[in-house]
Amino acid sequence: MATDEFKLISRYFAANAGDRADVILGIGDDCAFLKMQENQQLAVSMDNLVENVHFFAAAPPYYIGYKALAVSLSDMAAVGAEPAWVTAALTLTNAAAHGEKWIDEFCRGFFAQFACYDLQLVGGNTTRGSEINIATQLHGFLPQQQGLRRSGARVGDIICVTGSLGDAGMALQLVQKKLLAAVPSQITEDLWERLYCPPSRIDMGRALLSLASAAIDISDGLLADLGHILEQSGGVGATLEIDKLPLSPWLLECSGTDIASAQRLALGAGDDYELCFTVPTHLAEQVEILAREYKCSVTQIGVIDATPGLRIKQKNGALFAPTQQGYLHKW
């Protein structure tokens, strides 16, 4: 079925956009007009997902849509912001826009979390191109003078992570194996979900505003992302205890007896979108209380110290050498 950008916009995007009182003018004009609340700062984050870089072209479009919003929500969580307004710039291929089944499913995933956070899609851009590229921008609110940053970690702070690490890395390995198999076996929904539907940490991020000294979301792998905290906190260092890394029962089951490979995934693989944050020791108990209140597991995995660099200690005291530092786009 032939379609054009305006049919797609009205049928799939304007129709599902949401309805917030602070949107003065939404989709349909040259700009959106948005009303800020007094005493709030605007937190803005943008991400794009590129076909065959951030997602497999063969992935079910529901999961691609879900991830397109989830990566931006994760950035909001990392600074402790309350998300509100969304813009989206889509480059769609013929295959994605024609027939419209793809875009229908994509939207089902993209809008899946809108009601949960009272989000509104207020504008965007839709173009045709040779590969799919989805850019999502999220605007959220932060109380004046507040906001978690990467730069506040101090020597003596404890290092914590939410949830479990390495699941997305394992799912990626399994999906890759199955896609490459001579006779591709079916990839289960469960596997796509582990790869493309990270848990949202928005509530936890907001609750950490008054406790954490620094925070980041783990998109490229724990070592890489914690490395950003260390660097931006004036070159402090960190010592992690490898046995404390939170590994899910599923990851352990997939890894069999090879726990070291599960630990490597937890340290170096990306796409988990959990939070990594630092807290002064005297607030550690407060974090535990929050974790219980928000039903979000939090694990203390190490401490910030004065010696620059990152050390990973094993139970016997020996240092663990990771093989992968994290994901980096290179040209």
31 SS3 class:
coil
123 vs 205, beta carbon nearer ligand ADP: 123
Q: Which of residues 4-33 bind ligand ADP (CB under 6 A)?
A: 9, 13, 27-30
From the CB of 137, what's the least distance to Mg ion, in Å?
A: 17
Q: Is residue 161 part of the contact set for ligand ADP (CB under 6 A)?
A: no
Q: In what order do the strands lie in the sheet with 82-92?
A: 40-50, 133-143, 82-92, 120-128
Rank residues 2 and 31 by Cβ distance to Mg ion and give the closer one: 31
Helices (H), the chain: 5-8, 61-79, 94-97, 101-110, 114-117, 167-180, 189-196, 202-207, 222-232, 249-255, 259-268, 284-293
CB proximity list for 310: less than 8 A, separation 6 or greater: 223, 226, 227, 230, 237, 238, 239, 240
- How many residues contact ligand ADP, by CB under 6 A? 13
Single residue of 16, 52, 94, 125 touching ligand ADP by CB under 6 A:
125
In the list 1, 19, 30, 38, the residue contacting Mg ion (rule: CB under 5 A) is 30
43: partner contacted, choices Mg ion, ligand ADP, none (Cβ within 5-8 A by kind): none
Pairing label, strands 40-50, 23-25: unpaired
Number of H helices, E strands in the chain: 12, 12
- Residue numbers 57-96 binding ligand ADP by CB under 6 A: 88, 90
Query: Is 34 one of the binding residues for ligand ADP (CB under 6 A)?
Result: no
CB of residue 5 vs Mg ion: minimum separation in angstroms?
13
By rule CB under 5 A, what string of x and - marks binding of each residue 178-217 to Mg ion?
Answer: ----------------------------------------
Residue 205 interacting entry, from ligand ADP, Mg ion, none, C-beta within 5 to 8 Å by type: none
CB-based contacts of 326, cutoff 8 Å, min separation 6: 220, 221, 222, 223, 224, 225, 227, 268, 270
Using CB under 6 A, list all residues that contact ligand ADP: 9, 13, 27-30, 88, 90, 121, 123-126
